[in-house]
Amino acid sequence: MTDSLQAASSPPLRGTIEVPGDKSISHRALILGGLARGETRIAGLCESDDVLRAAAAVRGFGARVERVGPGEWLVEGCCWRNPDAPVDCGNSGTAARLLMGAAAGFAIEARFVGDESLSSRPMERLLAPLRQMGARTEGSRLPVTIAGGGLGGIRFVNAAASAQIKSAILLAGLRAEGEVEVIEPVRSRDHSETMLSAFGCDIEVRDGGVVLGSNRKLVGTAVDVPGDPSSAAFPLVAALIVPGSEVSARSVMVNPLRAGLIETLREMGADLEESNRRTVGGEPVADLIARFSSLRGVEVPASRVPSMIDEYPILAIAAAFAEGTMVMRGLAELRVKESDRLAAMVEGLTACGATVRSEGDTLIVEGRGRPVPGGAAVAARSDHRIAMSFLVLGLAARGPITVEGAATIATSFPGFGESMRSLGARIGPAV
Ligand code: S3P
């Protein structure tokens, strides 16, 4: 992909798209497959840079990981061994954190490295509980070295409502002696729990927590990866803000623990229709249709953060086109994502002529119910969701938007430009 992309005011967006497989589920399918006895067959894997890092890493730990067709992968798990080289997680926090947890279960030593963005993100929040279980760790940000094996149990309170930390502890717990419990005051996405159970592990999801049972052996299985709601968010919001649009996204996962954006957009007055609800890979899935809508600003409570943690950038774009004040509370975690997303949204939206500010961990956008001026250049900050958010803004703004560093989009949504163009979006190389 060209590294600078430009998005310009577009005609009504129309058509149907398939978004990539869910990134969270793709990571888990590869890692659980790599830990399981026998063969795991994955269909619909998200073949983005982040997920390919996880595939290479699992192979480096000794598992057989083979691509047999587009989105189709075979994994044969094993007892993990010392990798020959540092485990390079690129831009992916999910790969780094889940792999660290999984590796900690084995009597091996592995060094984890990543790109500049990932190397600036906090890891201590997960290394501390892994140490409590008995792992030895070095470094609090990447590069981090983990020496594992001989782990004991843990009772961990997941105060940050982070599915990555929860999953890392559960994966380490697969090879630990003793009770492993993660308490969740606010629930985070539950894909690890669902998939561990599908791989044959005893796991109990109670009110307010998760406990591993006594049978923690994984057996390979088939995993069908549903469409990623965090990727579908971009074409759907584009349809809501480009006049005359109607866009349908097929087979999108609608797990309630990931559905905060849909709920919020509906509160804003979005015409968002769901049809053909079914189950794919143990997850609820539906086709979603978005039509251009007059949106209004609303208050989004902090309690909704875990179910739409990755969607605030694109929600803030929708808010800039809405009428009235949009208040999004409890966004402290946004500061430690692929970029400081609070700062990125305030800076980018301001450059585009929108009225926006942050107060502590609250983001406030004053919408005027009409297109924002646009006509600006915005840096992607090694953050795929920042890049896609501002390209979507450019489709409905008065002046074009250039996103610098747009190659980062491939970390979650390879083919984003082509998919959007197929709907009529004017996105292309910056001139
Ligand atoms: C993810 C969990 C979220 C999310 C990330 C993917 C996962 O991170 O932001 O993109 O797959 O578990 P946190 O759990 O750290 O909030």
117-133 pLDDT, tens digit each: 999 999 999 999 999 99
CB 113 within 8 A of CB 89: yes
User: Residue holding tokens 């809405």?
Assistant: 322
CATH topology of domain 23-211: UDP-n-acetylglucosamine1-carboxyvinyl-transferase; Chain (3.65.10)
The pLDDT, as a whole number, for residue 309 is 97
- Say if residue 229 is preceded by a cis peptide, omega within 30 of 0: no
Residues sharing a CB contact under 8 Å with residue 334, sequence separation 6 or more, in sequence order: 309, 312, 340, 341, 342, 361, 363
328-385 pLDDT, tens digit each: 999 999 999 999 999 999 999 999 999 999 999 999 999 999 999 999 999 999 999 9
User: Is 171 touching ligand 1 by the criterion CB < 6 Å?
Assistant: no
Confidence of residue 431 (pLDDT cuts 50, 70, 90): confident
How far, in Å, from the CA of 98 to the mean position of ligand 1? 10
Integer CA distances (angstroms), 227 to 66, 100, 280, 285, 286, in order: 21, 26, 9, 8, 9
Would the pLDDT of 2 be above 60?
Answer: no
Three-class DSSP category at 30: helix
Three-class DSSP category at 278: strand
CATH number for the domain running over 4-21+227-429: 3.65.10.10
Would the pLDDT of 281 be above 90?
Answer: no
32-91 pLDDT, tens digit each: 999 999 999 999 999 999 999 999 999 999 999 999 999 999 999 999 999 999 999 999
How far, in Å, from the CA of 379 to the mean position of ligand 1? 23
Looking at the annotation, which residues are catalytic? 310
182-204 pLDDT, tens digit each: 999 999 999 999 999 999 999 99
Q: What's the mean pLDDT in 240-257?
A: 98
How far, in Å, from the CA of 9 to the mean position of ligand 1? 32
Which residues does residue 193 pair with via DSSP β-bridges, in sequence order?
none
Confidence of residue 1 (pLDDT cuts 50, 70, 90): very low
The pLDDT, as a whole number, for residue 321 is 98
Residues sharing a CB contact under 8 Å with residue 418, sequence separation 6 or more, in sequence order: none
Token pair listed for 264: 């919020």
User: Is 162 touching ligand 1 by the criterion CB < 6 Å?
Assistant: yes
Q: What's the mean pLDDT in 383-412?
A: 98
Percentage of residues in the chain having pLDDT higher than 90? 98
CA dist., res. 398 & res. 4, Å (int): 19
98-117 pLDDT, tens digit each: 999 999 999 999 999 999 99
The boundaries of every CATH 3.65.10.10 domain in the chain are: 4-21+227-429, 23-211
208-235 pLDDT, tens digit each: 999 999 999 999 999 999 999 999 999 9
User: Is 126 touching ligand 1 by the criterion CB < 6 Å?
Assistant: no
User: Is 188 touching ligand 1 by the criterion CB < 6 Å?
Assistant: yes
CB 351 within 8 A of CB 373: no
Token pair listed for 352: 């585009």
**Average pLDDT for the chain:** 97
CB 384 within 8 A of CB 344: no
| 65: nearest Cα among 90, 34, 44, 96 | 34
